[in-house]
């Protein structure tokens, strides 16, 4: 079993997380240290300008059993991103709060269409840096509740 430095979270290759600023309290994510940035599947998005600030309005489907949620966030950046298939697209990035294993911290997140992917979110290495270590053989090591630290999870 892998050990971590004190204060670091040990994650599996997939985990449950929350994005509370966006109203998402339980999102299934693939943890991918090969991906630089984190990505969230959005059904649709459009940018607009209000009082000199660029914003993005987007719809998210937390899971296949729920209706879409609408969110609005300031655009943090636009960058070219190359996916694992070699396709290069310009994406909108926002800043939001990640909640994982009972802890929260700010991350950058790009909004993209991940339809057809098994996970609505990809958690990349920049969101993990200095806070987490990944056991690629582990899965859902933090349990099912992103707000709950692993040591307080009920026995299974």
Confidence (pTM): 0.85
Torsion angle in degrees (nearest 10) through CA of 39, 43, 141, 7: 40
- pLDDT exceeds 80 at position 9: yes
Query: What are the start-end ranges of the E strands in the chain?
Result: 9-11, 14-19, 24-32, 38-41, 44-50, 53-60, 69-74, 77-82, 88-100, 103-112, 121-124, 132-134
Domains of the chain, earliest start first = 9-40+76-134 (2.40.70.10)
pLDDT exceeding 90 applies to what percent of the chain?
62
Partners of 18 in beta bridges = 99
22 pLDDT band, cuts 50/70/90, is very high
pLDDT of 30 = 95
CA distance 128 to 32: 10
Q: Per residue in 115-141, pLDDT tens? A: 767 788 999 999 999 999 999 999 999
Mean predicted lDDT score pLDDT of the chain: 87
Q: Per residue in 103-116, pLDDT tens? A: 999 999 999 986 76
- pLDDT exceeds 70 at position 63: no
CA distance 22 to 27: 11
């Amino acid at each position: 079993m892998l050990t971590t430095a004190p204060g670091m979270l040990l994650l599996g290759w997939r985990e449950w997380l929350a994005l509370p600023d966006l109203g998402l309290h339980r999102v299934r994510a693939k943890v991918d240290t090969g991906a630089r940035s984190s990505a969230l599947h959005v059904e649709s998005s459009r940018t607009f300008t209000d009082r000199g600030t660029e914003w993005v309005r987007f719809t998210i489907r937390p899971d296949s059993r729920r209706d879409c949620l609408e969110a609005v966030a300031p655009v943090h950046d636009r960058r070219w991103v190359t996916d694992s298939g070699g396709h290069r697209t310009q994406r909108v990035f926002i800043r939001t709060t990640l909640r994982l294993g009972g802890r929260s911290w700010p991350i950058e997140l790009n909004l993209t269409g991940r339809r057809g992917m098994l996970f609505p979110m990809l958690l990349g290495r920049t969101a993990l840096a200095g806070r987490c270590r990944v056991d690629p053989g582990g899965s859902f090591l933090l349990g099912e509740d992103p707000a709950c630290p692993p040591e307080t999870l009920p026995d299974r």
